[in-house]
Structure 1
Amino acid sequence: MQSVVAAGADWGSSAHRFPYYVDGEATRPAHFQTTVAENPDRPYLGERKVVHNEDGSTSAGEYEFVSFKKASDTATLIGSGLKTLGIKKNQPFGLYSKNRIEWMLSDHALLSYTLPSVAIYDTLGPDSVHYVMEHSEMAAAFFEKIRLESVLTAIKKGLPNLKYVICFDAVTSEDKAKFTKAGVELLNLYELKDMGAENVFPHDLPTAWDVAVLMTQQAPQVTPKQRLHVNSHDVHFAFLPLAHIFKRVVQAVCISQGCSIGFYQGKLPELILDIQTLKPTFFIAVPRILSRIYDKINRGVKAGGPEKEAAYKNVYDMRFAALERGEDTPMLNEKVFNRMSMALDGRVKWILTGSAPLGTAIHESLRVCVCPVIMVGYGLTETTAGATITHYNDMKLGHVGSLLASNELKLVSIPEMNYLTTDECPRGEVCVRGTNGFGSYLKNPEKTKKDIDEDSLFRTGDVGRWNPGGTLSIIGRHKSIFKLSQGEYLAAENLKAMYGKCDHIAQVFVTGDSFHAYPVAAVVPDAEMIVAWAKENIIPGDAKSIAETPELKDMLASEVLEMHKECKLKGFEKLRDFIVEPEAFSIDNELLTPTFKLKRVNATKKYQDQIANLYDAIENNQ
């Protein structure tokens, strides 16, 4: 739906809003209790059952669920146990674990007694865990047994406010002794529930403006009114980390509509098996996951040879044209596309993606091959994940939709980069405000004042463009746009997306500076693709050794050159040279966030010496 501005306001520079903008004050605990009352026996939280085989091994069985009523009762016991320990209202409480049922039950307990949760990514190491726990001044924390040593290490570094830690799993007397020695009491969840059962406290529910979540930022206790088409018959597959705000908002929407939620096992190689076992009806994914599905489909098509590839292109074009007309292709689906959609078990009605840009080629291909309805959302942690979302039947690509009902959004000109709200399609920095906006940065009033202006608009740092239909496109990131020596500006995100289209390139870090007139990059080749290429070209070795060969560098350079021609880049936009990096950017090597976005600061630090040498080599050869 097209955004609007106030009567008489300027289309380019004024704040846009949803035509039916609302100030919502519904809270997550209120939504949950309403759903419990309406659907007490409906399956709510599910995990795959551990099957003990005759040979002594274990395997994953079918999903088993906890009902909404059981979840509510258990959360009350957990919360009552915390009150018995003397935990006071509004004291921050940590959650440090992979996605699991106990995480959600504990979160419900915290919300029911107005205890702000502090979500800690389970991928963080001891130093980062200590920083989050100390900075938030948490009084206690939940964690899983595998994180015991990280928690203990953080405590030994000094956490004066931490009094209790509760393990989701069984603990030993030796474990308890270690924590007692460190000055913190260790309990397991069963002990806490037993304490709560002996003394059940009435709920102490938060208001709409109590702090619910500390994710370094404070987020108000409001559920954004997402335009997601879900109901009590839907099943959601939960694999994005619950510590991420995008995932927590999706969970809140599921709860309000009475959806069932099944968690993945925490093993990425078995992700597809979990999906096929659960049979979800909608799917939430980050672009990196969708890119993997897209690559797998393309490899399968190309493996069939030129004739099969040509035949596939014909049926692809026919289905794409039909979808643009608002029609379906049942015969083509039966013969070709249903097999591709089985990667998500065939029941998925729609997909929502966010947290990073989704390439138009990937978007179009997956819409044709996997699921016709793929919505794209835009937002940040500071906007409680959401600010805009595409309409479910919008077939146009390259934009992030229109505003949520809870937001206003305006663009502010960036004159030095020639992004102006007076352009035919207004461009500028995206600024957002609304009931789902954060309150402040925790213990950082200087940054709060810098990022939130006098009109309560949050400066996102993203560069946007208003399209004629009232939708928004994100065209760059202010912080990832760098100036070259001749004064030109380059948008690294745009170049990264472009080079990512190359068949044999999996990841790319594009960089540049004001001392040089051109960009350079670190390129990670696609391991599967280069192994197949090496086999065809009689080059021995594994992916790592192949990545180090001059033959591969030459092949990648030719793909980059073709991309320059295809995209008609100007001279200063073209990569002059690049490093071939055999190791993929990942969460483990701290080059990706938990939602698979590149950490540019970390990448810059890692490659600074190699980049400097690359520039020297280029200039010495001129």
Structure 2
Amino acid sequence: MSTHRSIPLPENVDYKKQSEQVPGTKRPGQTAHYRNAIFGFHDLNTPGSLTTLTEIFETGLGLSRDLSLLGHRPLVSANPVKYADHYVWQTWAEVDVRRHNLGSAIHALFQDGTLGGGDLPTVGIWSQNRPGAYLLMHVRAVSQWQIVEWALNAYAKVGVSLYDTLGRDSVGKTPIINHAHITVVFATANHIADLVKLSPRIPHLKLIVSMDEIDPEVKKVLSTWAETLGVGIREMCELEAFGEAHPLDPIPAKSDQVASICYTSGTTNMPKGAILTHGLLAAATQSNLYGYAIPPDVRGVLLSYLPLAHIYERINGLCVIAMGGCIGFFTGDPLRLLEDAQILRPNFFPSVPRVLNRIYQAAMVAGSAPGLKGAIFRRALEAKLHRLRTTGENTHALWDRLVFRKIQALLGGNIKLLTSGSAPISAEVVDFLKIAFSCDVLEGTLVLTPISRRYGMTENGAVATRCMPGDSTSGGTVGPPQPVVEIKLVDVPTMHYTSEDKPFPRGELCCRGASCFVSYYKDEKNTKETVDDEGWLHTGDVAEVDAYGRFRIIDRVKNIMKLSQGEYVALEKIENTYSTNPLIGQIFVYGDSLQSYLVAVIVPDPIQFAALASRVVGRPVSPEDAESLRTLARDRDVVQALLAELTKEGEKSLKGFELVKRIHVSLDPFNVEDNTLTPTLKIRRKDAYNKYKAELDALYALGEPSAASLRASKL
């Protein structure tokens, strides 16, 4: 068995040639096909490539059999809540036994007809990627989500994630369980009663498996209730014990075998089930190992707190598994996340902008400190940023030791790779993180921005492009194609983007390769709208390719609307542009085709908003003082000051008609529970409009502000 650790960049990389065009592929209305010029083009037939999820696990097992794999901090006290100051681990060998035991039991239930009956052997998973031990002081409860999925992979079953963030009522409203013909759901104890309640509406459901141990009396009540509805309730430990007593041989996986149906959350309230095969997920993992920023001699240690139901976290985890690394889970409490990091000391920290922005903001406080301390920090920051932007180097022997090791200690002091996903993050913050942690920082966000560092989506396994480590001029780009995909740009005439544009070709970004899906599950209409007859995935994003072969996301084909003067605007692109400002927690941009300008609802970041409001009103405002913040959100001067900050941000890259002219400020966030956010935290536009219809209509009733008033607001 070959070993799969990170594959380093070749020596003497030519950063001026990161993509190459495939000869003979240029056609009218589109560019030639672009492939990675540094690592070349790879597929599942490339020698040494990973081809299935079981191969990924067994590769890691071969590297680290007796080493740690899954860890958690045990709960020491429930009242008050207290966790141990160390992690407790299961080894690779122990987890291997558990996946075979559980997989044997699941397979037996499908074999005897207790489960199944659909065209695919689907199994639902409804859980946060939680260690379980924050509810129970029970080591076997650790990382049930991962163990269930690995058991399914080994026994030819198809996992279907039921987003934990959907909320209890949403699961009943969505068609996922019925659409995928799910007969068994693995769920955490807090979801079992909800599933029983929903069972009359999901007639295929036959079995609910609790990932936690349940109090015997509670289990008796739930089981009696469920039996009247034709549903059984078992505990996961029971199935593992059965499988241990009745072992079955694993079923060898094939690359074209369906491993998962990943339902995209759907901004139109209708989820689409992307069919993800073993080969697709293996290719996505393999592709990320090329130029992986964790050095080959470092055993990957991942801190997991992002939802495993999302493709971003799943691919991150698979990369660590392929390297024989280990995964430590957070306690389940976001307020203890930094504490978890300091105890685990991870070297891989996939994160989200809200967390990384807080680290940046906290560090910037040091820069504003008076006297020598602040002066030293500012000097260190200036020196390291200059070095990064001129040479690409992000280390400095003096300043790292004197200044930045304190920031590095926030995440345990051992970080080698930071990634950001789920929302935009500013280039300023990315550069700061690079020099503060002396590591590579890649944006793996599925929400695209002009300053993305990496580009991907569920339908291509989160793999399309990525900036190359060491490329000091890559700012503003998403890098070249990753090794398993090829990319082309197709003309968008209605938006005046063409493959013949100068100085650089522009058009809708389309990708094709081993990491790209083929179809949505039982959804021919959406499949045909997304994948063409030649297998090209049409992303809906507009890009241009620069002289070095790097791509830049510049617009959106989707969510286009026309203003009354005839100008087309891409609402998502505008939202992403404004979202790079730290003041923005959430933003919903709205346009009425009978009006000549845009308006928006802004949910500000409380810390940044409090600082802005303090400057405007001339007195301190605490970010914890919710009542004062709500009052100030209605203050005309504060609102105008916030709009002025947004206008400065927008004028960096937006045209005049794309700028938001009036805003409503709210401290009531868009959320999954009120259906204004999808589970992957994208705005559901229709529901967001309905929530704020009165406020948006009132903004338009005020009329378009004059150019003079806009200038005055910026003074």
Shorter-chain TM-score: which interval?
A: over 0.9
Counterpart AA for 1:323? L
Q: Distance in 1 between matches of 2:348 and 2:511?
A: 28
Please name the residue that 1:392 is paired with: 469
Counterpart AA for 1:287? P
Counterpart AA for 1:136? A
- For the 8 Å contact 1:98–1:241, the answer to whether it is kept is yes
Please name the residue that 2:155 is paired with: 113
CA drift at 1:236: 0.7
CA drift at 1:496: 3.0
Is residue 2:27 matched to residue 1:14?
A: no
Please name the residue that 1:469 is paired with: 548
Please name the residue that 2:3 is paired with: none
CA drift at 1:265: 1.7
Is residue 2:224 matched to residue 1:177?
A: yes
Is residue 2:62 matched to residue 1:23?
A: no
Is residue 2:419 matched to residue 1:345?
A: no
Of 382-391 and 371-380, more deviation after overlay is shown by 371-380
Of 587-596 and 62-71, more deviation after overlay is shown by 587-596
Structure 1: runs of 5 or more not aligned: none
Alignment map for 1:304-319 (pairs within 5 Å): 304=369, 312-319=377-384
Q: Distance in 2 between matches of 1:220 and 1:202?
A: 21
Please name the residue that 2:98 is paired with: 74
Change (3 A) 1:613 1:556: closer
Secondary structure in structure 2 of the residue aligned to 1:321: helix
Counterpart AA for 1:490? V
Q: Distance in 2 between matches of 1:443 and 1:529?
A: 46
Please name the residue that 1:579 is paired with: 664
Change (3 A) 1:209 1:9: closer
CA drift at 1:353: 2.7
- For the 8 Å contact 2:424–2:580, the answer to whether it is kept is no
CA drift at 1:323: 2.1
Please name the residue that 2:205 is paired with: 162
- For the 8 Å contact 2:101–2:243, the answer to whether it is kept is yes
- For the 8 Å contact 1:498–1:563, the answer to whether it is kept is no
Candidates 369, 372, 395, aligned match of 2:436: 369
- For the 8 Å contact 2:73–2:83, the answer to whether it is kept is no
Coordinate RMSD, CA, aligned: 2.7
CA drift at 1:188: 0.2
Is residue 2:595 matched to residue 1:520?
A: no
- For the 8 Å contact 2:19–2:550, the answer to whether it is kept is yes
Candidates 412, 417, 425, aligned match of 1:358: 425
- Paired-residue identity, %: 30
Please name the residue that 1:560 is paired with: 643
Q: Distance in 2 between matches of 1:620 and 1:23?
A: 55
Secondary structure in structure 1 of the residue aligned to 2:165: coil
Q: Distance in 2 between matches of 1:182 and 1:436?
A: 41
CA drift at 1:591: 3.7
Q: TM-score, normalised by structure 1?
A: 0.92
Q: Distance in 1 between matches of 2:569 and 2:384?
A: 36
Is residue 2:562 matched to residue 1:546?
A: no
Q: Distance in 1 between matches of 2:188 and 2:633?
A: 46
Secondary structure in structure 1 of the residue aligned to 2:558: helix
- For the 8 Å contact 1:464–1:474, the answer to whether it is kept is yes
Counterpart AA for 1:543? A
CA drift at 1:241: 0.5
CA drift at 1:112: 0.6
Q: Distance in 1 between matches of 2:603 and 2:634?
A: 15
Change (3 A) 1:338 1:540: closer
Secondary structure in structure 2 of the residue aligned to 1:252: helix
CA drift at 1:144: 0.6
Of 120-129 and 182-191, more deviation after overlay is shown by 120-129
- For the 8 Å contact 1:530–1:543, the answer to whether it is kept is no
Please name the residue that 1:84 is paired with: 108
Candidates 220, 245, 262, aligned match of 2:311: 245
Q: Distance in 2 between matches of 1:502 and 1:221?
A: 39
Of 170-179 and 290-299, more deviation after overlay is shown by 290-299
**C-alpha offsets along residues 15-44 of structure 1, whole Å, 9 cap, x if unaligned?**
212242122161011221232233211100
Counterpart AA for 2:463? G
- For the 8 Å contact 1:359–1:497, the answer to whether it is kept is no
Alignment map for 1:87-166 (pairs within 5 Å): 87=115, 90-99=120-129, 100=131, 101-130=143-172, 131-157=175-201, 159-166=202-209
- For the 8 Å contact 1:13–1:412, the answer to whether it is kept is yes
Please name the residue that 1:446 is paired with: 525
Counterpart AA for 2:658? E
- For the 8 Å contact 1:377–1:400, the answer to whether it is kept is yes
Please name the residue that 2:458 is paired with: 381
- For the 8 Å contact 2:260–2:276, the answer to whether it is kept is yes
Secondary structure in structure 1 of the residue aligned to 2:664: strand
Change (3 A) 1:214 1:102: same
Change (3 A) 1:545 1:182: farther
Candidates 335, 351, 357, aligned match of 1:291: 357
- For the 8 Å contact 1:350–1:371, the answer to whether it is kept is no
Counterpart AA for 1:141? V
Q: Distance in 1 between matches of 2:581 and 2:108?
A: 59
Candidates 530, 548, 569, aligned match of 1:490: 569
Change (3 A) 1:299 1:475: farther
CA drift at 1:595: 4.6
Q: Distance in 1 between matches of 2:151 and 2:525?
A: 33
Counterpart AA for 2:54? P
Secondary structure in structure 2 of the residue aligned to 1:153: helix
Change (3 A) 1:608 1:590: same
Change (3 A) 1:387 1:241: same
Q: Distance in 1 between matches of 2:645 and 2:543?
A: 28
Candidates 61, 69, 73, aligned match of 1:44: 69
**C-alpha offsets along residues 280-316 of structure 1, whole Å, 9 cap, x if unaligned?**
01111233432333333334534x2598766644432
CA drift at 1:70: 0.7
Counterpart AA for 2:415? V
Structure 2: runs of 5 or more not aligned: 1-14, 45-49, 132-142, 263-272, 443-452, 710-715
- For the 8 Å contact 1:531–1:543, the answer to whether it is kept is no
- For the 8 Å contact 2:166–2:672, the answer to whether it is kept is no
Q: Distance in 2 between matches of 1:446 and 1:599?
A: 21
Candidates 401, 415, 421, aligned match of 2:479: 401
Of 585-594 and 382-391, more deviation after overlay is shown by 585-594
Change (3 A) 1:430 1:286: farther
Change (3 A) 1:570 1:58: closer
Please name the residue that 1:413 is paired with: 491
CA drift at 1:356: 4.0
Change (3 A) 1:483 1:292: farther
Change (3 A) 1:367 1:587: farther
Please name the residue that 2:87 is paired with: 63
Q: Distance in 2 between matches of 1:457 and 1:397?
A: 27
Change (3 A) 1:597 1:62: farther
**C-alpha offsets along residues 550-600 of structure 1, whole Å, 9 cap, x if unaligned?**
774423423433553573654323322110112233444444444544443
**C-alpha offsets along residues 152-208 of structure 1, whole Å, 9 cap, x if unaligned?**
222132x22222111011232112112111211110011111111221000012210
Counterpart AA for 1:220? T
Secondary structure in structure 2 of the residue aligned to 1:331: helix
Aligned residues: 619
Q: Distance in 1 between matches of 2:212 and 2:648?
A: 57
